[in-house]
Amino acid sequence: MDLLASELHRVEALRFGEFVLKSGLVSPVYVDLRVIISYPALLNKVAHLLFQTTRDAGIQYDSVCGVPYTALPLATIICSANQIPMLIRRKEAKGHGTKRIVEGIINAGETCLIIEDVVTTGSSVLETAEVLRKEGLNVTDAIVLLDREQGGEAMLAKNGIHLHSVCTLTKVLKILEQQNKVASVMVMKVERFIQENISKPSGENGATSIKRTCKEMSFGARAELPGTHPLAVRLLRLMEKKQSNLCLSADVTKSSELLQLAAVLGPSICILKTHIDILEDFTLEVIKELRRLADQHEFLIFEDRKFADIGNTVKHQYEGGVFKIASWSDIVNAHVVPGPGVVKGLKAIGQPLQRGCLLIGEMSSEGSLATGEYTKAAVKMAEEHSDFVLGFISGSRIVEKPEFLHLTPGVQMQAGGDSFGQKYLSPQEVIGKKGSDIIIVGRGILAAPSRLEEAETYRKAAWESYLQRVGVSTQV
Question: What pLDDT does 366 receive?
Answer: 57
pLDDT value, residue 423:
65
- Catalytic sites, residue numbers: 304, 306, 309
pLDDT of residue 368: 60
Model-wide pTM > 0.75: no
User: For every one of its 476 residues, what pLDDT tens digit does the chain have, with 9 covering 90 and above?
Assistant: 899 999 999 999 999 987 766 555 678 899 999 999 999 999 999 999 999 999 999 999 999 999 998 899 999 999 999 999 999 998 766 556 666 889 999 999 999 999 999 998 888 899 999 999 999 999 999 999 999 998 899 999 999 999 999 999 999 999 999 999 999 989 988 998 888 778 766 544 443 443 433 346 889 889 988 889 999 999 999 999 999 999 999 999 999 999 999 999 999 999 999 999 999 999 999 999 999 999 999 999 999 999 999 999 999 999 999 999 999 999 999 999 999 999 999 999 999 999 999 999 986 555 666 566 888 889 999 999 999 999 999 999 999 889 999 999 989 986 555 545 556 789 999 999 899 999 999 999 999 999 999 999 999 999 999 998 887 544 33
The DSSP output letter for 149 is: -
Please report the pLDDT score of residue 235 as a whole number: 97
User: How is residue 397 annotated by DSSP?
Assistant: -
Q: CA-CA distance, 393 to 397, in Å (whole number)?
A: 9
Say which DSSP state 432 is in: I
Distance CA 258, CA 443 (A): 14
Single out the residue of 418, 421, 417, 395 nearest to residue 408, CA to CA. 395
Residue 39: Cβ-neighbour burial (10 angstroms; 0-12, 13-18, 19+): middle
Least Cα distance to 331 among 366, 363, 306 occurs for 306
The amino acid sitting at 80 is: S
Task: Tell me the pLDDT tens digit for each residue of 27-50.
Answer: 889 999 999 999 999 999 999 999
SS3 state of residue 318: helix
CA distance 31 to 8: 9
